[in-house]
Chain A
Amino acid sequence: MENITRRDFGKLLATVAIASAGVSAIKPLFETKFAKSQTSAQEYAVPVTCAACGAACGLLFVRRGERMYLVPNLSHPQPGMCFRPASALQLWNHPLRLKKPLKRAGARGEGKFQEVDWGTALNEIAQKLREIVQKYGPESVAFTRHDHMSWILPFIASVLGTPNVIGHEGTCHAASTAARRFVLGASGPTSVDPDYENATYILLIGRNLDAAMGHVRRLAAARERGVKIVVVDPRAPNIAYSSVEWLPINPSTDAAFVLSLIYVIISEGLYDAPFLKKYTNAPFLIKPDGQPLTQKDLGQEGAAYLVYDNATKSVAPHDKAQDPALDYEGEVQTKDGVVKVKTAFKLLIERVAKYTPEVAEKITGIPADTIRRIAREFAISRGVAEDGWYTSRNGNDFDAYRAILILNALVGNIDKRGGLCFQESSRFPSTCTIFEDRIETIIGYTLPPVKAKRVDTLKYPETPGSFDALLDAIIEEKPYPIKALFIVATSPFHRDVNTEKLKKALEKLELVVSIDILPQDHIDWSDYVLPDLMFLERSEIGSVKWSLHAAVWYSHKVLDPPPGVDARDAFWALMEIIRRAFPEKAKLVDYDERYADYHAFEHYEEQFMDTALKKLADLWKLNVAEIKEALETNGFYILKKKSYETRPYKTSLATPSGKVEIYTLRALRYGLDPLPDWKPPVYKVPQAPDEFYLVNGKDNVISSHMVMVKNAKWIVDRTVWMNPADAERLGIKDGDVVELEGLDNGFKAKAVVKVTNRVKPGVLYTYAFAGGRQSKLISGEYEFLREGVNPQWFATGKVEPVVGSAPTNSSVRVRRL
């Protein structure tokens, strides 16, 4: 049946496109047969890429007569879909959609605005920006973003001359991204991923596959072959409705659980010794000061890491040893005298000895027998543990994710079929390449270098982005003043911890400009609001994210903004602001008044997609016309299929040793512990009977914009979940209103309780991004958005050092009202 459908969509694809009210003519970017095949057919299906969350799933926009809707693009390497795109048309003509540029007409936070025309808004912003840059320098301007515009913003910032493009990572994947860098030399959440389709045993720790939907499809294929899925989470995420084993764990104790799994696997000899010896730094000899023993220590030439070779009974460089010892402990004569050394593996054994299943049971709430059983199952079936996406939870997450990656290495399941695999890189070009003395832009123009350093990486050197550090810089004016903030398609009030700090920073800024499609809470704090396009209204390309194959996607523009919505491309709006403020800077990238006409801007924007594809074609030695045609017709182009057993087997990793580092040498640079450990959370641990953990998370129905559509009124849960045992104890019934009070910050708010077995006793759960919307622009039948709480109100704002992960969980006192 599925095959028949695919063929039928193929037929639909052959007949393309009429324009009618609100529906744009499918104007392709490239001159190919796609353009020529436009007919007056009433039916068509056009490839688009979902931007309802950050996963970028492949979809088809279907039009059949009067009907418009989205379906998954099944041949795409990362096909959709979920509730979010299924409701996308409600986002398109949302009654609350930002329709015209707005100018603040009250105090910041009051949400009072007057509509202004685009020219007025852009000129006034440009004038203010010019004053700020003249007074404080270009680095005083910052941008924050989520996924939309993440390719373009570095270009815009470089033209302006600021390094400060600081995204959402600090409250999202900062912890797991740092862990991937330290252990595997990898980077963001997409850089490594379980090979779901071929896995036999999958451990999802704090992860529920709320996206990407391609994962869910591959998991469905694995279910055909009887994969076992274990979900470790204080609450049962939606995926726990399906056939999985759910282990309700105490919040903030993932590291203890995983270290205990490691303990069992090592103590029962279930680890992959040959893998550890050859491809990890487990046999490296470590000195008492924590540093690895190298040839330098012995006064030899070279700097190779040393191991104890069982074959020769002597110390030798790792790559020269025939049989590196995993558990050696002894003394070595160095140029500075005799030192005691131990293998990294031995140090790991000593570390996990603290976490016997009996001890871990007390910490995690998971029975010791269960821990033993899961450890054995995982090792024997050579399982894979997911490496983390949304991981800024408890302030000890970096260690939890290092432990998870080490667990994968322990059973040798790295880059193998069914294991934790490195994604084949598409080598998709950046819009800017930074050199010491210049910045090269993708469209061929050279810009002067940006001297200033990002304010967040100055504070947290290993962070992929810390908005909290930006707030500090705004408030304290250190390391240098930040005076203007552009908030581009992201929602700081629901995204970031420390709501009061955010308000203070927004009050202090001299210019706040927001570009968005709906009234997220920060809109009320903006001096100017510019209405943006939603994803069906723009054409874009990008790298396919959540597939192990290297691929690129293309999304057609299929709709114009609905009548009455004067929304425009954020890229154009930002370039116009720069041109109006600094025509000489805009000139450096050949941008001038030619593009003041919004419709002429298409030609400027086309250069970016065009050159990106030309560069890709050159890199992969492909015909660019072929890629373009495939992108237009299919919405994707696969550049390279996943090739297993490459890293670390044939190519060394980007870790200091080039190996998988179970002992993370990179940590030594910052005085961090090279081995993971469990620490209590940064927030107060609940003690009294009325005190609870407040845990938050997502499911397939959550994204900052899609929780605001009307369907979400019924589909998205804005309650706070409580276990029946706790509810009975406190005399609370389903639907009761309670007051939550943050144990750390004293913040109080009301919420409706849902009594459910989907959350562990002692824990409350609520969705991130959904509850407690406060924008004054929310009105009428959308008042339901005000229900519930925003978990960020209670978060401590304490940030993990070095990696800059700001935990979003907290603890609260509950009082029945």
Chain B
Amino acid sequence: MTRLAHLWDQSRCIACGACIAACNAANYGSATEENKTWRWLRSNIRRVEVLRGPRPMLLLVQCQHCENAPCVTVCPTGASYKDVDGLVKIKPELCIGCKYCMVACPYEARWLDERTGLPEKCMGDECLSRVSQGLLPICVEVCPAGARAFGDLDDPSSEISRRLARSRYVRLLENKGTEPKYFVVVGP
């Protein structure tokens, strides 16, 4: 089995914005139109800042590639599906634009491309293409802070498996039963 997954290390992320903007450049051709769903740039990564807590805190949120993905469950056409590599993907040719997946996602990880009427999310086309060629997703490739990793959870020698083995981490909204594969490292 292959279960590709993302790791984001909150204890290392310096909020430089490289991953967010690089996602826009690589997957959306540096497009300048607004992502109206998130009131954000056309990028698959959102920034959530917690500004009233005991200390400043940041979360970067993107598709969690859930093992038990609500977006897949609710999709009436099979356009949203979990691939054999463990990633949740979209077949645009099957999508009817009903947006059930957007509503069902507890992470609000999908946004609507109004030009095509189709939902967008991590990973974008270019990242899928890169991964298929053995390259890293662009957010991981550009990160200067060592705050990201990507790889196969079922391969104990993968970067992500090794880092998870020596880190404390959480997964977001685990109580929803989604079994997310986006690991938020909070410290060694």
Max count, chain A CB within 10 A of own CB: residue among B21, B29, B34? B21
Which B residues lie within 8 Å of A757 (CB)? 51-56
The answer to whether A243 has its CB under 8 Å from any CB of chain B is yes
Verify B58–A241 contact, CB threshold 8 A: yes
Which B residues lie within 8 Å of A223 (CB)? 12, 146
Verify A83–B14 contact, CB threshold 8 A: no
Verify A236–B11 contact, CB threshold 8 A: no
Verify B142–A2 contact, CB threshold 8 A: no
Q: Given that A5-B141, A72-B144 are contacting pairs, would A87 and B56 also be in contact in the complex, using a CB cutoff of 8 Å?
A: no
Verify A217–B146 contact, CB threshold 8 A: yes
Verify A5–B135 contact, CB threshold 8 A: yes
Q: Given that A83-B21, A89-B25, A700-B14 are contacting pairs, would A241 and B135 also be in contact in the complex, using a CB cutoff of 8 Å?
A: no
**Segment among B64-72, B83-91, B126-134, B175-183 that sits at the interface with chain A:** B126-134
Bound complex: CA A710 to CA B160 (Å): 33
Verify A242–B134 contact, CB threshold 8 A: no
Verify A86–B25 contact, CB threshold 8 A: yes
Which B residues lie within 8 Å of A226 (CB)? 188
Which among B16, B41, B147 is the interface contact of A213 at CB below 8 angstroms? B16
Which among A90, A220, A754 is the interface contact of B32 at CB below 8 angstroms? A90
Bound complex: CA A66 to CA B140 (Å): 21
Which among A216, A710, A758 is the interface contact of B16 at CB below 8 angstroms? A216
Q: Given that A710-B41, A758-B51, A758-B56 are contacting pairs, would A715 and B20 also be in contact in the complex, using a CB cutoff of 8 Å?
A: yes
Q: Given that A1-B149, A71-B141 are contacting pairs, would A242 and B13 also be in contact in the complex, using a CB cutoff of 8 Å?
A: yes
Verify A238–B30 contact, CB threshold 8 A: no
Verify A220–B146 contact, CB threshold 8 A: yes
The answer to whether B57 has its CB under 8 Å from any CB of chain A is yes
Which among B14, B19, B49 is the interface contact of A209 at CB below 8 angstroms? B14
Bound complex: CA A67 to CA B130 (Å): 12
A residues 692-739 near B (Cβ < 8 Å) are 699-701, 710-711, 713-715, 724
Q: Given that A86-B25, A213-B144 are contacting pairs, would A241 and B51 also be in contact in the complex, using a CB cutoff of 8 Å?
A: no
Which B residues lie within 8 Å of A219 (CB)? 145
Q: Given that A714-B39, A756-B51 are contacting pairs, would A216 and B17 also be in contact in the complex, using a CB cutoff of 8 Å?
A: no
Q: Given that A216-B16, A217-B146 are contacting pairs, would A711 and B41 also be in contact in the complex, using a CB cutoff of 8 Å?
A: yes
Closest to B17 in A: A83
Closest to B40 in A: A714
The answer to whether B187 has its CB under 8 Å from any CB of chain A is yes
Verify B25–A216 contact, CB threshold 8 A: no
Which A residues lie within 8 Å of B170 (CB)? none
Which A residues lie within 8 Å of B138 (CB)? 69, 71
Bound complex: CA A320 to CA B16 (Å): 52
Q: Mark B93-129, 1 if CB is under 8 A from A, else 0.
A: 0000000000000000000000000000000001001
Which B residues lie within 8 Å of A82 (CB)? 16-18, 144
Which B residues lie within 8 Å of A70 (CB)? 22, 25, 142
Which A residues lie within 8 Å of B18 (CB)? 80-83, 86, 700
The answer to whether A8 has its CB under 8 Å from any CB of chain B is yes
Q: Mark B19-55, 1 if CB is under 8 A from A, else 0.
A: 1111011100110101000011100000001011111
Q: Mark A78-98, 1 if CB is under 8 A from B, else 0.
A: 011111001101100000000
The answer to whether B74 has its CB under 8 Å from any CB of chain A is no
Question: Count the B residues whose beta carbon is within 8 Å of the partner chain — how many?
Answer: 55
Verify B158–A217 contact, CB threshold 8 A: no
The answer to whether B61 has its CB under 8 Å from any CB of chain A is no
Which B residues lie within 8 Å of A1 (CB)? 136, 140, 149-151, 158-160
Which among A69, A238, A246, A755 is the interface contact of B55 at CB below 8 angstroms? A246
The answer to whether B173 has its CB under 8 Å from any CB of chain A is no
Q: Mark A755-771, 1 if CB is under 8 A from B, else 0.
A: 11110000000000000
The answer to whether B15 has its CB under 8 Å from any CB of chain A is yes
Bound complex: CA A771 to CA B148 (Å): 31
Verify A87–B16 contact, CB threshold 8 A: no
> Total A-B pairs in contact (CB under 8 Å)?
167
User: A216 → chain B, closest Cβ, in Å?
Assistant: 5
Closest to B23 in A: A86
The answer to whether A587 has its CB under 8 Å from any CB of chain B is no
User: B162 → chain A, closest Cβ, in Å?
Assistant: 10
Which B residues lie within 8 Å of A311 (CB)? none
Verify B135–A8 contact, CB threshold 8 A: yes
Closest to A66 in B: B29
Which among B14, B20, B51, B158 is the interface contact of A238 at CB below 8 angstroms? B14
Verify B30–A87 contact, CB threshold 8 A: yes
The answer to whether A240 has its CB under 8 Å from any CB of chain B is yes
Bound complex: CA A71 to CA B136 (Å): 11
Which A residues lie within 8 Å of B57 (CB)? 241
Which among A5, A213, A754, A755 is the interface contact of B136 at CB below 8 angstroms? A5
Which A residues lie within 8 Å of B20 (CB)? 83, 86, 715
The answer to whether A4 has its CB under 8 Å from any CB of chain B is yes
User: A372 → chain B, closest Cβ, in Å?
Assistant: 22
Verify A86–B17 contact, CB threshold 8 A: yes
User: B65 → chain A, closest Cβ, in Å?
Assistant: 17
Which B residues lie within 8 Å of A236 (CB)? 55-56
The answer to whether A239 has its CB under 8 Å from any CB of chain B is yes
Which B residues lie within 8 Å of A86 (CB)? 17-22, 24-25, 142
Which A residues lie within 8 Å of B151 (CB)? 1
User: B172 → chain A, closest Cβ, in Å?
Assistant: 17
Verify A700–B51 contact, CB threshold 8 A: no
Verify A220–B25 contact, CB threshold 8 A: no
Which A residues lie within 8 Å of B25 (CB)? 68-70, 86-87, 89
Which among B13, B16, B22, B134 is the interface contact of A4 at CB below 8 angstroms? B134
A residues 155-197 near B (Cβ < 8 Å) are none
Max count, chain B CB within 10 A of own CB: residue among A82, A724, A756? A82
Bound complex: CA A194 to CA B60 (Å): 29
User: A771 → chain B, closest Cβ, in Å?
Assistant: 17
Verify B126–A67 contact, CB threshold 8 A: yes
Q: Mark A22-38, 1 if CB is under 8 A from B, else 0.
A: 00000000000000000
Which A residues lie within 8 Å of B11 (CB)? 242-243
Which B residues lie within 8 Å of A714 (CB)? 34, 39-41
User: A516 → chain B, closest Cβ, in Å?
Assistant: 20
Q: Mark B161-174, 1 if CB is under 8 A from A, else 0.
A: 00000000000000
Verify A216–B14 contact, CB threshold 8 A: yes
Closest to B149 in A: A1
Which among A5, A241, A724, A754 is the interface contact of B14 at CB below 8 angstroms? A241
Verify A79–B135 contact, CB threshold 8 A: no
The answer to whether A362 has its CB under 8 Å from any CB of chain B is no
Verify B24–A711 contact, CB threshold 8 A: yes
Verify B51–A755 contact, CB threshold 8 A: yes
Verify B15–A238 contact, CB threshold 8 A: yes
Bound complex: CA A781 to CA B34 (Å): 10
Verify B21–A711 contact, CB threshold 8 A: yes
Closest to B141 in A: A71
Q: Mark A207-223, 1 if CB is under 8 A from B, else 0.
A: 00100010011011101
Which B residues lie within 8 Å of A8 (CB)? 133-135
User: A97 → chain B, closest Cβ, in Å?
Assistant: 13
Closest to A219 in B: B145
Closest to B39 in A: A714
Max count, chain B CB within 10 A of own CB: residue among A72, A83, A241? A241
Bound complex: CA A471 to CA B32 (Å): 38
The answer to whether A64 has its CB under 8 Å from any CB of chain B is yes
Verify B144–A242 contact, CB threshold 8 A: no
Closest to A212 in B: B144
A–B complex contacts, Cβ < 8 Å, 25 sampled: A1-B140, A1-B158, A1-B160, A2-B136, A2-B159, A64-B126, A66-B29, A83-B18, A83-B20, A86-B25, A87-B21, A87-B30, A89-B29, A90-B30, A219-B145, A224-B146, A239-B15, A241-B10, A241-B13, A242-B13, A243-B187, A710-B32, A715-B17, A755-B52, A757-B54
18 more CB-based (< 8 A) A-B contacts, given A5-B136, A216-B14, A220-B12: A1-B150, A71-B141, A86-B18, A86-B24, A86-B25, A87-B30, A90-B30, A216-B144, A217-B145, A242-B147, A246-B55, A699-B16, A701-B17, A711-B41, A715-B17, A755-B51, A756-B52, A756-B56
Question: Top 4 nearest A-B pairs by Cβ distance?
Answer: A83-B17, A220-B146, A86-B21, A700-B16
